[in-house]
Amino acid sequence: MVAKVNRLKARCAFIIGVFFALLSFCANAQMPDILMDDETETFVCNIVRPIFKVAGISYDKNKIHLLSDSSLNAFVSDGNHLFVHTGTLMAAKNPNEISGILAHETGHIAGGHILRQKLKIQNLQTLAAVSLIAAGAFGAASGRGDAALAVALGSQGSILNSLIAYQLQEERSADESAVKYLKALGQSPIGLKNFMKTIQKTNRLSGYEEVDYFRTHPMSAERLSFFENSIKKNGGSTKSAYDEDFLFIQAKLTAFLLPVDRVLKKYPATDKSAPAKYAHSIVKFRQKKFNEAVLLVDELIAQFPKNPYFLQLKGQFLFESGKIEPALEAYQKALTLKPDSAETTILYATAAFESKNKAHLLQDVINRLVKLQNEHERAAVWQLLSRAYFEKGQLAESFDALARYNFAIGNIELAQKQIKKALESNPSASLKLRLGDLERQIKLEKEQN
């Protein structure tokens, strides 16, 4: 009896633990690294912007995020933030598949599924607590611990089934919305169907059972039938204005994120296409063959002179090999073609600090970084601004930027110390006002916590 009860306890603990782990996943799971790559971000934004428009959702490029994660996934969170895994971009066969995936996630946003799921989870958590209390009371009254655990297991199973059914309902709703958005854009839903089948195949190869409970996007026969009918009924094109861009970002992600042998398997030396050349240049860079890497990217720049990303990459190759001035020249050319690139601006600022002509570059660096912060604040940019102001001898501005950096990363006490230093460094009247605003923000933050 003791052994049986212990087994039941273990099973109950496992199910309850998995259940609540899934419920709190979005809020508590350790997220993969956010990937900053302007080329890939621009591609994803170009795909998702028209989808948001037909869905009637406000578009904000700062709410589109790349996650450095090899798994096949995309998801939405509070505030209509959209996250796309790099694994999804590398596994897709064309932009039509990406359009289908992002249209599906847009369906979740338009359907208000995030808020509804929160409410559903709250109700289920309450039900779970009640079921455990009831099981405990039954066990105390009957004197049978195994019977109490059986009651608890049965209740948890019902709760899990309820959550699964609810999630499947949301998936069907998102599918229907996705097909509608794609039709409005003249796009075929075949890409969505094909990528869902890719997820299904990947899960099978990984040893996952075809159980809906363990699936984010279960590919049921019903969903497959829906996609097939939609393809026949809606038609639409699989072509995209971003087909070439997609080949380049796929080559770039593959070359930077996968082991070199896998990169060369996908892009062998015999492949002389431009995307393969892109991948080969990055492989040479990873192998610290900097001169060869620069020669390859120079060929791409000659072939695509208006592509800022090849110039940015050349700047990175040169900077990492210690060639600061040529790197700065490459970054400046890239910024001429795409002045709003946050990534290139940050790389340019970093290189400028190492330049022998630093004194002449500092004001340009400050102007670009301030413009960047006015569009969308980034903690790393505050840090760069602090250094730029310090190098120019503007101590009050430097301490202010450092205070904002520490506030952004949650180091409240250090932020307050930097505010004090800024106020002691003869700040201008306008800077004093901004420092006062920051002090009030910090006070409010403390009161809320």
Reported as a single tens digit per residue, the pLDDT across 200-232 is 777 665 555 444 433 445 556 677 788 888 888
| Average pLDDT over every residue of 225-252 | 91
pLDDT at 170: 75
Q: Which two tokens stand for residue 46?
A: 């170009």
**How many whole angstroms from its chain centre is CA 36?**
9
The pLDDT assigned to 341 comes to: 95
pLDDT value of residue 316:
97
What global pTM score does this model have?
0.79
Q: Quote the CA–CA distance of 116 and 122 in Å, as a whole number.
A: 10
Number of Cβ within a 10 Å radius of residue 295: 13
Question: Average of pLDDT values for 171-186?
Answer: 90
Q: Does domain 377-449 have CATH number 1.25.40?
A: yes
pLDDT band for position 309 (cuts 50, 70, 90)? very high
Tokens of 285: 């860079």
The pLDDT of residue 115 is above 70: no
Average pLDDT of the chain to the nearest whole number? 82
Is pLDDT above 60 for 240?
A: yes
Q: How far apart are CA 356 and CA 360, in angstroms?
A: 9
Q: Rounded to an integer, what distance in angstroms lies between the CA atom of residue 430 and that of residue 179?
A: 52
Band the pLDDT of 234: cuts 50, 70, 90.
confident
pLDDT value at 438 more than 70: yes
pLDDT per residue as tens digits for the range 359-405: 999 999 999 999 999 998 999 999 999 999 999 999 999 999 999 99
Distance CA 155, CA 126 (A): 12
81-85 β-sheet, strand order: 64-67, 81-85, 74-77
Do 146 and 1 contact (CB within 8 A), yes or no? yes
CB atoms within 10 A of CB 28: 9
How far is Cα of residue 442 from the mean position of the Cα atoms in its chain? 28
Q: What is the mean pLDDT of residues 236-258?
A: 95
Q: Average the pLDDT over 327-345 and give the result.
A: 97
Question: Residue 218: its pLDDT value, please?
Answer: 54
Model pLDDT, residue 113: 54
d(CA 34, CA 376): 16
Q: Which of the pair, 151 or 226, is modelled with greater confidence?
A: 226
* Greatest distance between any 2 Cα atoms in the chain: 84
Rounded Cα distance between 315 and 329, Å, is 8
Q: What is the pLDDT of residues 67-114, one digit of tens each?
A: 999 888 888 887 888 999 999 999 999 999 999 999 999 998 887 756
And the tokens for 242? 């971003």
Among 1.25.40.10, 3.60.21.10, 3.40.50.1820, 1.10.3720.10, what is the CATH number of 258-359? 1.25.40.10
pLDDT (0 to 100) of residue 242: 96
Residue with the larger pLDDT of the pair 301 and 15? 301
Delimit the CATH 1.25.40.10 region(s) of the chain: 258-359
Taking phi over 0 as left and psi of -120 to 50 as alpha, with beta for the rest, 144 belongs to beta
| CB contact at 8 A, 15 and 156 | yes
Which string of b and e fits 8-18 if b means at least 16 CB within 10 Å?
beeebeebbee
User: Which tokens is 370 given?
Assistant: 């301030």
Q: How far apart are CA 181 and CA 185, in angstroms?
A: 6
User: Higher confidence at residue 378 or residue 173?
Assistant: 378
Residue (of 193, 230, 213) closest to 104 by Cα position: 193
* Residue 34: strand pairing partners: 67
pLDDT digits (tens, 9 = 90+) for 6-58: 444 444 444 334 334 443 444 444 557 889 999 999 999 999 999 999 999 99
